[in-house]
Amino acid sequence: MFIPSIAPVFAPDRTVHQLLADIRVQRAFRFFEEHADDITEEHAAICAIPAPPFGEAARAAYLVEKIRQHELTEAHTDAEGNCVALRRGRDAGPLLVVSAHLDTVFPPETDFAVRRAEGKLFAPGIADDGCGLAALVALLRAMEECAVVTEWPLLFVGTVGEEGEGNLRGARHLLTDGRWAKKVDTFLSLDGPGVERITNCALGSRRYRVRFSGTGGHSWGDFGAANPVHALGRAVARLTSYPAPARPRTTFNVGRVEGGAGVNVIAREASMDVDLRSESAEELGRLDAFFRRAAREAADDENATRRAGAPPLELDVKLIGERPNGETLPHSPLMRLAEEATRAVGHHP
């Protein structure tokens, strides 16, 4: 069976109907039903392997070995740490990537034991993105065992660096630096539970580490020295005054604050990590400019209050992550196929 390619003009309902009528696709659906328990156990096994940001190697190695067991000998870990497996098609046409991300937001010392109750699985990262990785392996198994042949090749990828400060490093490498750079035509990501939601828009985000540095000192004896913690507080207060619009949805967050050595100590340094997001690139730019100005003004105001002769604070604003806005148009062939496929299995997209 050859799965047809996405043509410039096509009827998505007819395409999906033809696929569902094919005996091999029907066998693949039965495979999922008959192996549901196996897939669930695989899901739990993947989730039990810690994979914090920049610590995904063990989970990637497990996934490579699991995929190789299903006769995909081209499975390997690339230079960035992604698990990559090529499944060849009938022709060497445009490449379709099916991906799920390896990393979780949780630190390695987290207890990842899976708890089961009322037909549900509970564990850190079980949905984000344990279920995507389990689905990726299950899809590969079904296609191999049911002899499903695609017209063009598929590249199955477990990416690193999706969470936190990873800054999409795995996907960036795949698309810009690696063996497959400039060869990918379509990219699908399996992320989160359920099959009803189709995400076609990417939020833009910018993440910063802001550091205020000074001379420090004693809270009594050196009172009047420029205080990094006070400046940081001023910056947070300014940022929270931003009138973030509900449409396009725009958010900001101070996610981590560090600084100080004791209650009676003027800190030498104080820092914060800041997350800025928006559905709109233009609005993100406005928020970004406001935030930078808030940090600068906070330092200036604190310096203005210091006693005569005291050294000024220094401000460092470092960009630690940037993700561009993006959209797959609602009427694109890929979106229309995704919606029709969702309806075909009994769900409303």
On the question of pLDDT at 263 being above 50, the answer is yes
Q: What is the mean pLDDT of residues 264-286?
A: 98
Q: Quick one: which of 252, 303, 250 has its CA closest to 280?
A: 250
- CB 106, CB 181: distance < 8 Å: no
Domains in the chain with CATH codes:
8-200+328-344 (3.40.630.10), 202-323 (3.30.70.360)
Structure confidence at residue 7 as a pLDDT band (50, 70, 90): very low
- pTM for this structure? 0.89
Q: What is the pLDDT of residue 71?
A: 75
Q: How far is residue 83 from each of residues 66, 72, 210, 226, measured CA to CA in Å? A: 11, 12, 34, 49
d(CA 93, CA 162): 28
On the question of pLDDT at 8 being above 90, the answer is no
- The residue with greater pLDDT, 329 or 193, is 329
On the question of pLDDT at 1 being above 50, the answer is no
On the question of pLDDT at 42 being above 60, the answer is yes
Structure confidence at residue 16 as a pLDDT band (50, 70, 90): very high
Length of the chain: 349
Q: How far is residue 249 from each of residues 171, 220, 303, measured CA to CA in Å? A: 25, 45, 35
On the question of pLDDT at 4 being above 80, the answer is no
Q: What is the pLDDT of residue 9?
A: 58
d(CA 144, CA 163): 31
Q: What is the mean pLDDT of residues 311-337?
A: 96
Q: How far is residue 156 from each of residues 71, 96, 293, measured CA to CA in Å? A: 14, 9, 43
On the question of pLDDT at 73 being above 80, the answer is no
Q: Are strands 83-87 and 154-159 parallel, antiparallel or unpaired?
A: antiparallel
Radius of gyration of the chain (CA): 25
Structure confidence at residue 74 as a pLDDT band (50, 70, 90): confident
Beta strands in 147-224 (DSSP E): 149-150, 154-159, 184-189, 201-202, 204-213, 217-218
Sequence-separated (6 or more) residues with CB below 8 Å from residue 42? 66, 134, 137, 138
Structure confidence at residue 125 as a pLDDT band (50, 70, 90): very high
Instruction: Name the least confident of 57-61, 77-81, 108-112.
Output: 108-112
d(CA 267, CA 225): 10
Instruction: Name the least confident of 10-24, 29-43, 298-312.
Output: 10-24
Q: Quick one: which of 61, 66, 26, 25 has its CA closest to 43?
A: 66
Q: What is the mean pLDDT of residues 219-239?
A: 98
